[in-house]
Amino acid sequence: MARLELRGITKRFGDQVAVAGFDLAVENGELVTFLGPSGCGKTTTLRITAGFEQPDTGEVLVDGQDVTALPPNRRGMGMVFQGYALFPNMTARDNVDFGLAVRQRPVAERRRRVDELLALFHLDHVATHYPHQMSGGQQQRVALARAIAIEPAVLLLDEPLSAVDAKVREELRTEIRRMQVQLGITTILVTHDQAEALSISDRVVVMDRGVIEEVGTPARIYAEPRSAFTAGFIGAMNELPVRVVSQREGLVEREGRRFAAPGATELPDGAAGLLLVRPESLQPLDDGAVARPGTPILRGRVEVQTFLGATTRLLLGDLARTDQDLAGTGAAADRGGSPEQLAVDVPSSAAARWPVGSELQVAVPLASTRVIAARSAADAAAPRPSTAAAPAGVPAAGGR
Amino acid sequence: MSATLPASSTRRAPTRRRGALVWLALAPFGLGVLLFLLLPTLSLVWGSFHRSDGSFTVANYGFLLAAEQLKPFQNSILLSASTMLVGGVGGLLIGQALLSSRSGLVRELGVTFSSVAANFAGVPLAFAFIATLGANGLLTRFWAALGIDLYGHGFTLYNLLGLAAVYSYFQLPLMVLLILPALQAMRGEWREAAENLGASRWYYLRRVAIPILLPSVIASMLLLFANAFGAYATAYALTTGFFPIVPIEISSVISGDVSFDPGQGDVLAIGLAVIMALCVGGQAWLQRRTGRWLER
Amino acid sequence: MSQSQPLTAEATRAVLTIGRSRRPSGSRAWSAVVLVLAVLYFFLPLVGTASFALSTGKVFTLQPLLDALADPDAQGSILLSLGFAVATTVVTVAIVAPSAYLVELRLPRLRSLLDFVTILPFVIPPIILTLGLEEVYGIHGVVNLVGSPVLLIGGYFALTLPFVYRAIDNALRAIDVRTLTEAAESLGAGPIRTFLRIIVPSISTGLLSAALLGFTTIMGEFTLASLMGYPTFPVMLNNTYASAAREAASLVLVAFFITWACVLALAVVSRRSPAARAVATAR
C-alpha cells in the first residue's frame, strides 16, 4: 500500500514525443486506469513507473521517496505484462514463487504464501502445470499471483486482458478489481478498452498523443466530458456545432435558434462550440407527443438501424429542426439536405416503430447536454455522431 | 468431395479415376526416390549382412569392433565432438551478439555471412586454409616474420587438430543459423519480468534463460556432430584422402581398395548412418519438446 | 554441407522479424568485440587465398585468375557443373512441386511418410549414398550407369531432396492450397491448369528458393562427382591444386563468389515473398 506520484514525466524517442508533462498522484489503495488509443503514451508511462524506461524529465515517487534512479528490480513494484511473460520452463507454482525465491525467504514461508495465492486465484488444480498447458485466463491469474506474491507497494498492469477471450475478460476484470480492493494495493491499469476502464476504476486518466486529456471518475467523464477528445473517445456521443452568443447567460445559437445549455458559461462570446448529447439521452417523440416547452426538437429520417442488444441505435439523416416553442415566428421545418447525422438509442423492443426510411422527431433535453469548445474549424461544419464503441455492457453490433 | 456434387455439364471424373490419376502424377517422385534413395540404402543394408559370395553373415558387423576399425571411429568421434563444442559455444556467442546489435543491417549481414560460410565447406575451404595456414600460408609466414615458427612447434593442418580448425569454419556459422530461431524466441519480457520480481541479471540467466535455451543448444550441437561426422570433401581435399576417418575409409571402398570386403564397407556405412540417425532423431525430439514450451 | 541449405532461407526470414531488444551498454561492447573477432576469423582464409592466388610479393595481379578461366579444362568443368546443376534443379523442382501439391491436397496421410523420406538424405550423407549408388549402378551393379549423366542427376536428386521439398512445402503451407484449388475448379479449371496457372505463381518464390538451394549445393558437390568419376568444377579444382596451385586458388575465389551470389539471391527472394513474410510474422 503506497501513494504513488508521477511528476512532470516527459519521454522522447528520437524526435517522437511519447509522453509530455505527465502529472498524477495515485492515492493509497486506488485503482487508476490509463485509457487511450494506441500510441497515446500510456504504456510508456507505465514502463517509466516500473523502471524499464528512464524519463527525460520528471520523477517517480513512492510514499514521497524518489525512486526514479532505482533499477526495476529494486522498486518493489509488481508488474503484469501484456503477454503475461510467464517463465515457460517453470510450473505455475514455481512462477509464483520466483520473486520470493529471489528474496531468499525461508522455504516454509514461501510454500505457505504460494499456496495462499494459488487458492486465492483458484489455481490449485494447475499448480504443477506449465504455461503452455494452461488457458489464457489461467496464465493471466498466475501472472497476477506472481506479481502480488512479493507484496509490492504498487501494482502495474499492462493491458492484462487484451489477450483473453471476450467472455472471460468480463469475469477476469471483476476478479482483478475484487482482489485489488481486498488487498488494498495501489494499482495502475493500462488499457485501450473503455468498458474495462469505466467498469473497475476509481479514476480514469484519458490520454491522447502523450498528454493527459482528462482525469476523473468513470461516471464524471462519461456524463460530463470536458474535452472534445474524451467526448469522442468514451462511449458514443453526438456533437452538434453551435456558437456561443452569450457567456453571461449561457446561451448558444444554432441555425437561428437560441437556447441555454450547460457549459456555455465557460466559453467566451462568439466561440465555436460543440453541443454534446448522448444517443440514449435523446427522446424520441411519438406522434402527438409533446416535448417540454423550450426543448429544441430535431426531425430526421431513419437511415440505418443498428441492433446493439438491449438498445437499437437509429442513425438519423436529413436533419431539420422544428421549434414548437418560439410561438409566432411560425417557422416551418425546412429541409436542409446537409450531411448531418444524429444517433439515437431506443429500446430494441420499440425499434420497429421507426423502420428505415421513416421520419422521427427527437427532443433534446438541454439538461443532459453539455457545450464544450470545438476542436477546430472543421468541427464547426458538420455534426456527427461519434464512431466510438458502444457503451459499456452492450455487445457490439453483429456479435463476434 | 465430388460424390456430393449434383450432376452438371462440368462434372468431373469420378473419384476412382481421379485417384488413379493422382497416383500416376506421383509416380515420377516415387520412382526417383525408389531408384536413387531407397535402392542404394537397401543395397547397403543387404550388403552388410552378406559376404562377397552372397552368403548371409553377421561377421561383417563383428569386423566393426576390430581394433583397426576403432581408430577411424575414434578419430571421427573426436573430430566431431571437438568441433561440436567449439562450433556450439562459438556459434551461440556470435548469434547472441548478432541479435543484440541495434542495427538490422548487421543482423542481416551476419545471417548472410553465416550462410555463405556454412556452404563454403569442401574443396574450396580446404584450399583456402592451405593458402592461409599451410606450410607456406599467409598466416604462417606472418607469424614466422614475428619470429614464431608454427610448423616448427608441431602445428600442422594435416592432423586432427588442423582438421578441427578447418571444420570450425563451417560449424560455427551452422550453429549460428541453427540457434538464431531459439535465441529470437527468447522474449525480452521474461528478462523484464524477472527484473521486476527482483532478480539480478545472473539470476535470470541461471534460472530462466539457460534452462529455456539448453534443449535447443543441445539439439543444434547434435546436428553439428552429425554434420562433422559425415563430412567427406573437406577432409579429402585437405589430406588428399589419407586421413583415417570413417567417411574416407568408406570412400576407399568405393575406389576399389582391396583391403576391405565390400560387405565390411557397407557395415561402415551403416554404422555411420546409425550415428547420423541418432543425432537427427535426438535433435527432432528435443525440438519438439521445446516447441511445446515456447508456443503460447 | 547439406544441412545448412534450408537454414539459410529460414534464418533470413526469421531475421526480418527481430524485434527491439534493449541491452545494457556493457554487453553491447562485448557483442561488438565478438562480432569483430568473428569477422576477422571468417575473412582471413579468403584473404589468404587471395594473397596466395593473386599476388606475388607486393604485386597484385588478376593474371592467375584469367589463366585459370582460360584453361579449357576449367571451362569444361564449370560448364559441366552448371549443366548438372541446372538439369537437376529443373528435374527435381518439376517432380517435387506437383507431388508436394498433390499430397497436401489429396493425400494428407502420406505427409508423414513424405517427411520421413525427405529426412533420409540428412541421415544418409553423400558419402554413404555414393557407396550405395556405386553398388547398384556401378560397374558391378545391377545396371551399369557409370559415366552416364542419369546417375549423377539421380544422385543429386536424392541429395537435394530434403531442402527442395522443405522449401516448396513451406511455400505451399503458407497459402491456402485447398481453397485456391476449389475456387479454380469451381470456375471450370482442370487440375493441370489449376496447378500451372494458380498454384505455381502463388508459390513462385518458394520454387525459386528451392531452385537456388539446389543449385548452390550441386555447384559445390564433390563427393558423388569425384568418386563416380565426373569432372565437375570441384573435382577439377581438387585435381588442379597439385599442379597449378595458384590458378586453383584463384578458382577458389570464384567458387566463393558463386556461393555468395546464390546466398544473396536467396535472401532477396525470401525477403520478397509475401508468403514468407506471412509465415515469419505469424510465428
Q: What is the phi-psi region of residue B122: left when phi exceeds 0, alpha when psi lies from -120 to 50, beta otherwise?
A: left
Q: In chain B, which residues have their Cβ closer than 8 Å to the Cβ of C264?
A: 112
Cα–Cα dist B68/B64, whole Å? 9
pLDDT at position C191 is 80
Of A74, A89, A103, the CB nearest to B212: A89
pLDDT at position B73 is 87
Any C CB within 8 A of B202 CB: no
Q: In chain C, which residues have their Cβ closer than 8 Å to the Cβ of B93?
A: 34
Over residues A361-375, mean pLDDT: 84
Q: In chain A, which residues have their Cβ closer than 8 Å to the Cβ of B294?
A: 88, 132
Cβ of A85 within 8 Å of Cβ of B195? The answer is: no
* Residues ≥6 apart with Cβ < 8 Å to C257: none
pLDDT at position C15 is 47
Cβ of C227 within 8 Å of Cβ of B251? The answer is: yes
**Which one, of C214, C240, C215, C243, lies nearest residue C226 by Cα?**
C240
Share of chain A above pLDDT 90, in %: 43
Distance of CA B94 to the CA centre of its chain: 19
Cα–Cα dist C43/A313, whole Å? 70
pLDDT at B268 over 60: yes
Residue with cell 519480457: B189
pLDDT at B14 over 60: no
- pLDDT band at residue A240 under the 50/70/90 scheme: confident
Chain A residue closest to B190 (CA)? A85
* HEC assignment per residue over A326-356: CCCCCCCCCCCCCCCCEEEEEEHHHHHHCCC
The H or E element that residue C36 is part of is helix C25-54
pLDDT at position B15 is 59
Cβ of B33 within 8 Å of Cβ of C117? The answer is: yes
pLDDT at A321 over 60: no
For the question of whether the overall pTM of this predicted structure is more than 0.90, the answer is no
Strand partners, A259: A252
Cα–Cα dist C240/B210, whole Å? 48
pLDDT at position B16 is 61
Q: Are A380 and A271 in contact (CB under 8 A)?
A: no
Cα–Cα dist C173/B86, whole Å? 36
Interface confidence: ipTM more than 0.90: no
CB pairs under 8 A between A and B: 72
pLDDT at position A309 is 87
Any C CB within 8 A of B14 CB: no
Backbone angles phi, psi at C140, to 5 degrees: -100, 15
Chain B residue closest to A99 (CA)? B197
A positions 74-103 inside 8 Å of B (CB): 74, 77-79, 81-83, 85-90, 98-99, 101-103
Of A52, A71, A85, the CB nearest to B190: A85
Cβ of B21 within 8 Å of Cβ of C27? The answer is: no
Of A50, A101, A131, the CB nearest to B196: A50
Cβ of A81 within 8 Å of Cβ of B192? The answer is: yes
Q: Which three cell numbers stand for residue C154?
A: 539421380
Of B100, B169, B180, the CB nearest to C21: B100
Any A CB within 8 A of B197 CB: yes
Any C CB within 8 A of B95 CB: no
Task: Say what angle helices C177-186 and C72-106 make with each other, to 10 degrees.
Answer: 80
Chain A residue closest to B210 (CA)? A89
Cβ of B193 within 8 Å of Cβ of A99? The answer is: no
Q: Given strand A154-158, what is the order of strands in its sheet?
A: A77-80, A154-158, A186-191, A31-35, A203-208, A211-216
Cβ of A130 within 8 Å of Cβ of B296? The answer is: no
Cβ of C220 within 8 Å of Cβ of B119? The answer is: yes
Taking the alpha carbons of C237, C240, C245, C251 in that order, is the dihedral positive or negative? Answer: negative
Give chain C's residues under pLDDT 50: 1-3, 13-24, 275-283
Q: pLDDT digits over B33-53, tens only?
A: 999 999 999 988 888 888 777
Of A73, A82, A89, the CB nearest to B196: A73
